[in-house]
Amino acid sequence: MNILVISDLHLGVYARGDIFGWDSGKFLETLKEVCDTNKIDKIILNGDIFELYKYRISEIEDTHKALLGFLREKKAVFIKGNHDIILDKGLSSYTIINSKGESIHIEHGHNADFLNGTKLGRFIGVLLMTLLKTMCKIDIVNRIYLAIVKFDDEIERIPRKYNSYKYLNYALKLLKKHDVLIMGHTHKMEVHKTWHFNSKKKYLNCGSCSMGRFHGIVLDTETLWYETVKIEQNILFEMEEKRLFEKKELIKDNHGGYVEVVQQ
Ligand SMILES: [Mn+2]
């Protein structure tokens, strides 16, 4: 069976700060082409498909009807990431055992993080979020918080913010039980081969389909042959900004220029 693993689309509603970076229809076309060329039997969505930190699932579903309809029709497997962990549906991980007994394990990878992946971390996380929710009722705190989230989400910071060794370490632990591991989360495509008890193991990271890029891993589950798919697209699409939550005003300054005032 040929599988295609993709992750980290961060589908939003085409508002400011969204990082998907694709026209939804164009992405669907590319996905179909990748599936046809590689004779894909099963699509696996490896987490952070939806940007639920910022939007409601119904808003995202309305924005990406055709794409999500296609994925549903193809019975794509949906694994949850940290940005879509609050959904009722979805798996925490997915494991395929082939006819030779070899094990292919797929999970998003956020469990390697302290705040997402440990009991204490999650407890602290919940406490902080509750505190934050209360504090964000104060306008200035809310503004500062949104600015921090925006800074933290900036795509060029993502590979730096995730320490590769931490994930590699986590991957090596999982590879004691499995032969192939595919993770996402770091937005950085990686391929590592290693040996455990004299058998060759593989850790692959499927990168990210955001910022107008298409990253994916194609794997034949019987032979464990794999291929990385990397389509870099210049972001030339025209995106209609639906400013749902803000009004923008242009004010003329004293030097003939304009000052942009954004009101939340
Ligand atoms: Mn993630």
Contact in structure between 39 and 221 (CB atoms under 8 Å):
no
For 129, how many CA atoms within 13 A lie in the half-sphere containing its CB? 9
Per the structure, the complete domain to which residue 63 belongs is given by 2-263
Q: Which pLDDT band holds residue 70 (cuts at 50, 70, 90)?
A: very high
Q: How far is it, in rounded angstroms, from Cα 112 to Cα 114? A: 7
Kindly state the percentage of the chain with pLDDT values over 90. Answer: 53
Mean pLDDT of the 138-161 span: 74
Ligand 1 geometric centre to CA of 111 (Å): 9
CATH number at 83 reads: 3.60.21.10
Query: So what's the pLDDT on residue 49?
Result: 97
Contact in structure between 210 and 20 (CB atoms under 8 Å):
yes
Neighbours of ion ligand 1 (CB under 5 A): 48, 81-82, 110, 185
Segment 89-110, tens digit of pLDDT: 999 999 999 999 999 999 999 9
Q: Which pLDDT band holds residue 242 (cuts at 50, 70, 90)?
A: very low
β pairing state of 247-252 and 258-263: antiparallel
Ligand 1 geometric centre to CA of 108 (Å): 7
3-state secondary structure of 74: coil
Contact in structure between 43 and 77 (CB atoms under 8 Å):
yes
What letter would DSSP give residue 237?
-
Ligand 1 geometric centre to CA of 83 (Å): 6
How many independent structural domains does the chain possess? Answer: 1
Ligand 1 geometric centre to CA of 263 (Å): 29
